[in-house]
Structure 1
Amino acid sequence: MADRKHGVPTPETHSTVRSEDWDGRDLSGEAHERVAFIDVDMTETSNHGAVFTECTFRGVKFNASAHTDAAFLNCTFTRCAFFDATFTRCKLVGSMFDGCTFDLLKVVGGDWSFVGLPGANLRGTSFANVRMREADLTGAQCEGASLRGVDLSGAWLHRADLSRCDLRGSDLASLDPLTVELKGAMIDPYQAVVVATALGLDVRSGDQEP
């Protein structure tokens, strides 16, 4: 299992929901704390405002589920499926993902700061206007993903594959161009200056004296 940043332990759970069929269930307004959800089918669930605090999800299917203004705080997701899932203005602060699949995942707005996604396969996913401060994206595979307007300040990006990734409008101050793959990535002019400066180049306008 992938480790949390700085070796922080996984929160203990106090109750368990196992092998239940929640397909299509409306989770809106529910609150769960330190619950272990194991092999639960949450396909096509709808969720407006539910709060999951320090819960563990193991082998849970979130396929085609829709979450709006919901919170998954300091939760742990292991071998979960998020095919075509949508998270809108959700908080996943401090949550950890290990061995999960994210095909066609869409995230719009919200706070995913301190999230752990080391080595995650995020190819083809879409993150727009999301706060991901100090997120662990070490070795993440983001080829062809869209990370538009994402706050990546302080994020761990070592060995991340950002090739062909749309990064326009995102904070790239933490990016070391020498330790990530950037071939074909799309950036805006301001970001080009940030990347060039990180490479040690002296960026000046044409009329500036050396």
Structure 2
Amino acid sequence: MQTYTDRQFEGVDFSGEDFREAELTRCAFIKCKFIGARLEEAITTGCKFEECDFHGAALNASVHTESAFTNCFFEGANLFVAKFTACKMTGSDFTRAELSGITIVKGDWSYTNLRHVKLDKQNLRDIRFVEADLMGASLEKSDLRKCDLTRANLTQTNLSGADLRGAELEGVPWKTVNLKGARMDTIQAIVLLRSLGAKVE
């Protein structure tokens, strides 16, 4: 098992390397490549990854606490049952990533590309999704209470049965969103109706 503490790497190519069960604490990785790397059950705490490439990497059952993955690429990566607690993921791209069973506890996922992801029945409370691209995503029966979805792209997003009470929904395009059975508070309902052209008195 590899252990790294207070280390910094810039422009290093870790593609294909074995980081299974590695423990990384307060490390910084800037513009590094982890293409096809093995990171199953790896643990990161307080680490920073900037513009890193995790294309096709295996992060199954990895655990991340208060780490930052900003402007990173997770295209085709496997994040099955991975856990992110209070992490900053802004600007990262999850195109075709496997997110089944993922656990997200709070954190900032603003400006992320989460198109077509499946996050059904997930507890996603208190997460920032400001201007995140959730086009075509499925969030059926998910708990989105107190999330910040300001100006998020929810075009063709499935929110049926989701709980949106207390969430920030300013600037959301509602016309193609599936809201069947979704729970909203009174203020949200009024905003929704007005966005659809209704006159609420």
Same fold at TM > 0.5: yes
Q: Which residue of 1 aligns with 2:5?
A: none
The equivalent of 2:59 in structure 1 is 62
1:95 CA drift (Å): 0.9
Cα RMSD after superposing both structures:
1.8
* Distance in 1 of aligned mates of 2:186 and 2:18: 49
Q: Distance in 2 between matches of 1:80 and 1:148?
A: 28
Say which structure is richer in strand.
1
Q: Give the equivalent residue in structure 1 for 2:196.
A: 199
Aligned AA (1:154)? R
Q: Are 1:130 and 2:123 matched, yes or no? A: no
- Per-residue CA distance 1:168-191 (angstroms, 9 max, x = gap): 221122233321111122222222
What is the aligned partner in structure 1 of residue 78 from structure 2?
A: 81
Structure 1: tracts of 5 or more residues without a match? 1-12, 205-210
Q: Match for 2:39 among 21, 39, 42?
A: 42
Match of 2:161 in 1: 164
- What is the alpha-carbon distance in structure 2 between the residues aligned to residue 147 and residue 15 of structure 1? 38
TM-fit CA distance, 1:37: 0.6
Instruction: Extract unaligned runs of 5+ from structure 2.
Output: 1-9
Deviation at 1:77, TM superposition (A): 0.7
1:140 aligned residue: 137
Cα displacement string for residues 47-74 of structure 1 (whole angstroms, at most 9, x for unaligned residues): 1101101001011222222211110011
Q: Give secondary structure in 2 for the equivalent of 1:194.
A: helix
Are 1:102 and 2:102 an aligned pair?
no
Answer with 71-80 or 154-163: which moved more: 154-163
Q: TM-score w.r.t. structure 1 length? A: 0.84
Corresponding pairs, count: 192
Alignment correspondent of 1:26: 23
Distance in 1, Cα, partners of 2:85 & 2:146 = 15
SS in 1 for 2:144: strand
Aligned-partner residue type, residue 114 of structure 2: L
SS of the residue aligned with 1:126? coil
- Kept in 1, the 8 Å contact 2:114–2:132? The answer is yes
Aligned-residue identity in percent: 38
Distance, in Å, in 2 between the alignment partners of 1:38 and 1:96 is 14
Shift in Å at residue 26 of structure 1? 0.7
- Equivalence for 1:173: 170
